[in-house]
């Protein structure tokens, strides 16, 4: 374990987690995250962030030299109440640099703006925008973290049902089951460095606004995946969402997909976000970038 990981885990466990347990409104949480994230996790020097006039606000993030006609559509996390392209510029500039690809980041509607299924609708609209811009389905790789990982998987199921098959999918610590039935939610509730399990049901209720948590658009663990592309799922072995990652991998494999479940020891939720400070975060992004290159070049990526 790197010394940076020990420090980060302690800071999250004794600083961030108690704060999240008593955090106020979703809008306050969003504002704090939007302010703090670029300061703690700044983008690489000379990162380009280009806004595009898409139906859903969309930013193209890139760093270094990028290849044309290949793109990553990334759906950010934040429990459906926080997150944006701006907040994620640090992690995504590093993913772009490592993969040599642009990363398209839609600012989908959060629960304060519109409840479920607005985020799902916006994710599909972002996909359709890229398709209209001339990208073939096989030129686009889906990705996302936490809630955004679940959103990316829900989008994948919707696309496969329509006969469209992306090049692949990468999910960092995906939240795939809003019924909260995973065994690790209780088994890892103390071990998890940052997620307060006591607040999860509250967030689910705010996001769904009365909708069924087993709806496949909210919980892609229950979706159908006919002929899925290659998928990489990264998760930490002490996360409360570990079971979501494991069961999602099993479901995709049962559907005939090639899935790599990459488990990391004693890392916090979405540790990739801290790649600028955390060696394990950078290593995970490099693994993801290699997977993306292989998938978009037509390899099995397995």
Sheet holding 168-172, edge to edge: 48-52, 58-62, 102-106, 71-75, 140-145, 168-172, 231-236, 259-264
**Cα(159)–Cα(73) distance, integer angstroms:** 13
Q: Measured at the alpha carbon of residue 84, what is the angle toward residues 79 and 89, in degrees to the nearest 5?
A: 120
Active site residue 239: yes
B/e letters for 278-289, b = 16+ CB within 10 Å, e = fewer, are bebbbebbebbb
Give the DSSP H/E element, type plus range, for residue 104.
strand 102-106
Annotated active-site residue in 93, 102, 239, 280:
239
Annotated active-site residue in 76, 102, 269, 287:
269
Return the structure tokens found at 164.
């469209």
User: What is the SS3 assignment for 133?
Assistant: coil
Please count the other Cβ atoms lying within 10 Å of the Cβ belonging to residue 3. Answer: 8
**Cα(112)–Cα(121) distance, integer angstroms:** 16
CA 275 vs CA 57, 140, 243, 272: distances in Å = 26, 24, 24, 5
User: What is the SS3 assignment for 201?
Assistant: helix
Active site residue 99: no
Active site residue 184: no
N residues, the chain: 302
Backbone angles phi, psi at 142, to 5 degrees: -85, 145
Q: Angle formed by the axes of helices 147-161 and 118-132, to 10°?
A: 60
Annotated active-site residue in 146, 173, 184, 219:
146
What amino acid positions are annotated as catalytic residues?
146, 239, 269
């Amino acid at each position: 374990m790197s010394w940076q990981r020990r420090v980060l885990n302690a800071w999250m466990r004794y600083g961030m987690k108690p704060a999240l347990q008593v955090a106020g409104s979703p809008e306050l949480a969003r504002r704090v995250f939007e302010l703090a994230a670029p300061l703690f996790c700044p983008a690489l020097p000379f990162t380009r962030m280009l806004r595009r006039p898409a139906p859903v606000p969309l930013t193209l993030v890139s760093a270094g030299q990028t290849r044309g006609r290949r793109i990553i559509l990334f759906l950010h996390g934040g429990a459906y109440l926080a997150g944006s392209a701006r907040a994620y510029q640090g992690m995504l500039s590093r993913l772009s640099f490592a993969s040599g690809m642009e990363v398209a980041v839609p600012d989908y509607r959060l629960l304060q703006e519109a409840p479920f299924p607005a985020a799902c609708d916006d994710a599909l609209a972002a996909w359709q925008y890229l398709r209209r811009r001339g990208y073939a389905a096989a030129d686009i790789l889906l990705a996302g973290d936490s809630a955004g990982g679940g959103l990316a998987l829900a989008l994948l199921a919707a696309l496969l049902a329509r006969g469209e098959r992306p090049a692949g999918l990468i999910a960092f610590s995906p939240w795939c089951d809003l019924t909260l039935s995973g065994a690790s939610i209780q088994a890892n509730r103390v071990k998890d460095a940052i997620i307060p399990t006591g607040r999860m049901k509250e967030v689910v209720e705010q996001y769904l606004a009365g909708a069924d948590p087993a709806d496949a658009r909210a919980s892609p663990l229950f979706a159908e995946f006919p002929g899925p592309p290659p998928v990489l799922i990264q998760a930490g072995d002490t996360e409360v969402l570990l079971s979501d990652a494991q069961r999602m991998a099993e479901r995709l494999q049962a559907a005939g997909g090639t899935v790599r479940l990459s488990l990391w020891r004693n890392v916090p939720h979405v540790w990739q976000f801290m790649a600028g400070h955390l060696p394990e975060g950078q290593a995970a992004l490099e693994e993801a970038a290699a997977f993306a290159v292989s998938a978009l070049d037509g390899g099995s990526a397995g």
